[in-house]
Amino acid sequence: MIARARVTVDLAAIAENTRTVVSALGGRAVVGVTKVTCGSPRVGRAMLAGGATALADSRLENLAGLRDAGIDAPLWLLRAPVPALAEEVVRHADVSLESELETLEALDVAAGRLGKRHAVVAMVDLGDLREGMMPEALPAFVERAEALAHTDLLGVGVSLTCYGAIVPDEANLGELVALTQSAEALTGRRLHVSGGMSSSLDALVGGVLPPRVDGLRIGESILLGVSTVTREPILGLRTDAIVAEAPVIEVMRKPSLPRGTSAQDAFGGRPAFTDRGERLRAICAIGQQDAVPAGLRPLDAGVEVLGGSSDHLVLDVDDMASPPRVGDALRFLPGYSATLRLFTSPYVDKRYVGGDEG
């Protein structure tokens, strides 16, 4: 029995998954992405123990937390900052992903003021329409970066799948390599090819990840063990590194159809219901504020997620061999969206096992 919802993180499983990804990539660098866990230093250490060469996060607050926890590995900032945050970026991040010249120049000024150097990866948009300059803008960006006194152009990178759901393939990754080679002609030196995120593992499995790709930024596949293209297991990775639990606060037989005039639910939707007669239902003390209900896959046989309000998860438990009692914990494997909210919610306890649990 548990009193509050909690998420349990198996650090040994995360380290094992990282080792598997590192091995599969055959010498390419793996930058472990901690952002879905809100920059957990324990998760970061597990990724580094598994062979990640650096850690990355989209929030400066999380990078600062990793440094404060004593992690001295290179840190990458994934989300480009506004120029006003340039000094904070240089203080906490060794590398940042950039596409705007104004921000690039602000970072250089900040690095000079702090007596440091800052490295940038020039991001190009190859179809996903999230961050990145259009390819024709890359030469001007490279030339400006090379002229700066305190900034180093580390390489060229791409983001795919996260917004436009565009799959990394031979064409767009090949274009990334060609763009990097054109940038190398301007710099006169080899540049790092950052070939995307977890979704690029599908290109690896499919045999179309170009040999010239030097590294990937991997979070979801290490943490949840799945492809971000199919959401199916990939590379034999463990899918149970993160498990959510929530206590049951009510168990009762109820009709499967609401009674009365139907309007909008709490989130402006109009839910549809199927009449299945009376069914045994359970309510768990976790809701939309803590996790996306559709992203919770029950681990207990016979449990079906019906939906949820801000604070309640509604379940059909009629098919359970032994119905739960009030206070019992039901377990779930969270998908990415559910994991994101679980770690962000202050109402969900976090527990770490199998490694650096302090």
Which residues are part of the catalytic machinery? Answer: 35
DSSP reduced 3-state for 258: coil
Look up residue 80 and give its two tokens: 């480009």
Query: How far is the C-alpha of 311 from the C-alpha of 280, rounded, in Å?
Result: 20
Enclosing H/E stretch for 184: helix 170-187
Cα separation, 40 vs 61, in Å, equals: 11
d(Cα 278, Cα 348) in Å, to the nearest integer? Answer: 31
Rounded Cα–Cα distance for residues 341 and 98 (Å): 27
Q: Which residues contact 58 (CB under 8 A, 6 or more apart)?
A: 35, 77, 78, 79
Q: Identify the H or E element spanning 221.
A: helix 220-224
Burial group, residue 349, by CB count within 10 angstroms (0-12, 13-18, 19+): middle
287, exposed or middle or buried, with CB in 10 Å at 0-12, 13-18, 19+? buried
Please state whether 138 falls in left (phi above 0), alpha (psi between -120 and 50) or beta.
alpha
How many angstroms separate the Cα of 132 from the Cα of each of 86, 196, 232, 309?
A: 18, 12, 28, 37
Q: Helix (H, G, I), strand (E, B), or coil: what is residue 151? A: strand
Question: In 3-state terms, what secondary structure has residue 78?
Answer: coil
Residue 300 exposed, middle or buried by CB count within 10 Å (0-12, 13-18, 19+): middle
Host H or E run for residue 57:
strand 54-57
